[in-house]
Amino acid sequence: MGTLYIDRQGLELRLNDLAIELRADGERLRSVPARLLERVVLRADTRLSSATLAGLADLGVGVLALGGRGGQRVAHLLGQPHGDARARIAQCQRVNDEAWASVWSRQIVRAKLRGQQRLLRQAQGARADLRKPLGDALATLQRTLDRLPAASDRDSVRGLEGAGAAAYFRGYTALFAPALGFEARRRRPPPDPVNACLSLGYTLLQGQAEQACWAAGLDPMVGFLHLPLHGRASLACDLVEPWRAHVDEWVWQQFRERLLRPEHFGRDGAGACLMGKAARAHVYAASASLQKRCADGLRRHARLAARVLQQAAQLPPDDEALAAEGDEGGTGAATA
């Protein structure tokens, strides 16, 4: 299952005989079987009818629309929901269960911190000149991990996550050339090329997590580490945390190998860093394997989360969903 990226102004998207057609000025440019796609990402103004939107949803193909010059406005069509509501019932039963949610949150944050450690250790092997900043960050991450089992509530877990993130980005920023201007993680708006790439990568990851929740019968809005908040897909935010380091690693490699360079980026009148069309085309093509790996993992983790929630709520399992899961591995929603 792949992703179709549309980054050319003025195209029309049609659904015709289970195939997605792209047209310009009435002429068909290409056709893609819908069964090969998991989602369509719209980065440029694209025409499509309500019938096409409904047809894509019926086929389970999500649509992620990125608006604004920097792609900062996001709309997401998730497709058909899972037919079994029991996982969503279980979510609502557990959202205010502090003991259960604290265990969930510790698992999520543990996986995130370990992913950050893995990346910084890899960077240590490649950048001996950065031994001190990377070593300091790794030491703080380990202390944070050591303290995590004693965190008895979600506020404590979030505090440790924040401390770990601050230490991690002190080490991560050191990996990039000073000319890129990457000094800290900032997103609204991204002030430099690295932050612009991270923001796009995290946005695509978030869209995958929302779609995975929906397909597994979970409500992406009802989270545990990230509490429900108006307009936020909190459970999807939970699930993406362990996967962020995979995006961080990919972005570092692109700049390290100079596949992405400062000249690929520009600025708007407010000083926000904007990714040029050539850079976006590179990101969409070069990150395809990363996107697939993340999507596969998020789908697996969402299904496992649904099963864990049903068991915690003592609801009978969905035999059909368990059969579809097959013999995929994994032991929890927070393992990446």
Specify whether the CB–CB gap between 322 and 314 falls below 8 A. Answer: no
In angstroms, rounded to a whole number, what is the distance separating the alpha carbons of residues 22 and 263?
A: 30
Q: How many helices (H) and strands (E) does the chain have?
A: 11, 10
pLDDT at residue 124, rounded to an integer? 94
What residue ranges in the chain does DSSP mark as E strands?
A: 2-6, 11-16, 19-24, 27-33, 37-42, 46-47, 62-67, 73-77, 265-267, 273-275
Please spell the DSSP secondary structure of 154-169, one letter per residue. Answer: HHHHHHHHHHHHHHHH
Cα dist from 255 to 123, 263, 273, 293, whole Å: 13, 12, 16, 21
What is the C-alpha to C-alpha distance for residues 236 and 238, in angstroms, rounded to an integer? 5
Query: Has residue 80 got a pLDDT over 80?
Result: no
The model carries a pTM of 0.81
Provide the pLDDT for residue 106: 96
Structure confidence at residue 331 (pLDDT): 31
Long-range contacts of 165-169 (CB under 8 A, 24+ apart): 167/136, 167/137, 167/140, 167/141, 168/116, 168/120, 168/137, 168/141
* Cβ atoms of 23 and 29 closer than 8 Å: yes
Q: What percentage of the chain has pLDDT greater than the value 70?
A: 88
Quick one: 86-325 is in which CATH superfamily?
CRISPR-associated endonuclease Cas1, C-terminal domain (1.20.120.920)
What is the average per-residue pLDDT within 288-303?
A: 92
Tokens of 82: 């899972």
Q: What is the pLDDT of residue 329?
A: 40
Judge whether residue 227 has pLDDT over 70. Answer: yes
Domain ranges in the chain?
2-77, 86-325
| pLDDT averaged over every residue in the chain | 86
Contact between residue 117 and residue 253 where contact means Cβ atoms under 8 Å apart: no
pLDDT in tens, 155-183: 999 999 999 999 999 999 999 999 999 99
pLDDT the model gives residue 148: 97
- How much is the pLDDT for 71? 54
Second CATH level (architecture) for the domain 2-77: Ribosomal Protein L15; Chain: K; domain 2 (3.100)
Residue 325's H or E segment, with its range, is helix 319-325
pLDDT per residue as tens digits for the range 193-209: 999 999 999 999 999 99
Q: Are 187 and 145 in contact (CB under 8 A)?
A: no
pLDDT in tens, 5-19: 888 888 888 888 888
Give yes or no on whether 2-77 and 86-325 have one common fold.
no
